[in-house]
Amino acid sequence: MDIYRINDIGALIKDNAYVGRGIVIGASADGSKAAAAYFIMGRSENSRNRIFTEKDGEVKTEPFDASRVEDPSLIIYSAVRRLQNKLIVTNGDQTDTICDLMNAGKSFKEALETREFEPDAPNLTPRISGILYFKDGGFSYEMSILKSIDGAGSGCCRYTFSYPMTAGLGHFLHTYVCDGSPIPTFQGEPERVEIPDDIDRLTETLWNNLNKDNKISLYVCYTDLKTGKYEHRIINKNK
């Protein structure tokens, strides 16, 4: 087994009906850009009734049809926010927790110590988060998953992974292993994946390989490490 293998993310998700929500962070193959991506999937009508919107670098989930919203508590949130030299991406309202507490002098890990998995028994969906720290023409990043210690939700396990910038390498963290009832929670370390130079190639690879029935929205952002300028792509199944 090659523990340093870099996977094609398209192959990882192609035949998996439900990986849930996913975060990808890494450096482009030529080392000139930082890549961050976030996607959402859904099985229920309430979950599928969403789109991504972007304004001034902040990405939010919003209802596609507000009249059909049943419970907004776990599906409407800021998924991506910028904080000084940092880019934060998460699968829930812990985005705001991270921003607020880091503004108050806490670390990414300390901020997430105040949160736990989602209260959506029996699935007990993990909270996944990522942060990029830009400095001196490069970056480093951390990823986190908060998940239940058992099927009863009796306690929260918190894992944080720290990575240096490595050209062509990214890490992929998602909420579920696959579909199921209840849905099995992600296990192990974030998966090593290839990051191409071209933002459209990554965007197309993700969108085209996510399950066509369950995928909802995708956001991909590439930041130029020399200039700090970024470009992004958004795809919404609901148009």
- pLDDT tens digit string along 158-217? 999 999 999 999 999 999 999 999 999 999 999 999 999 999 999 999 999 999 999 999
- What is the model's pLDDT at position 100? 98
Q: What span, in angstroms and rounded, lies between the C-alpha atoms of 131 and 108?
A: 8
Neighbours of 44 (CB within 10 A): 10
pLDDT at 2 exceeding the cut of 90: no
Neighbours of 5 (CB within 10 A): 8
Contact indicator for 223, 134 with CB cutoff of 8 Å = yes
Mean pLDDT of the chain: 97
Would you call 236 helix, strand, or coil by DSSP? strand
- What is the model's pLDDT at position 3? 87
- What is the model's pLDDT at position 200? 98
pLDDT at 74 exceeding the cut of 90: no
- What is the model's pLDDT at position 178? 97
- Segment among 66-80, 88-102, 136-150 with least mean pLDDT: 66-80
pLDDT at 5 exceeding the cut of 80: yes
Q: Nearest CA to 29 among 6, 12, 13, 52?
A: 6
DSSP 176: B
Q: Nearest CA to 218 among 197, 202, 198, 195?
A: 202
Q: How confident is the model at residue 73 (pLDDT cuts 50, 70, 90)?
A: confident
pLDDT at 1 exceeding the cut of 90: no
DSSP code per residue over 201-232 = HHHHHHHHHS-TTTEEEEEEEEEETTT--EEE
Neighbours of 138 (CB within 10 A): 13
Overall CATH class of domain 9-236: alpha beta
In which residue are the tokens 């507000």 written? Answer: 66
- What is the model's pLDDT at position 72? 86
* 129-149 pLDDT per residue, tens: 999 999 999 999 999 999 999
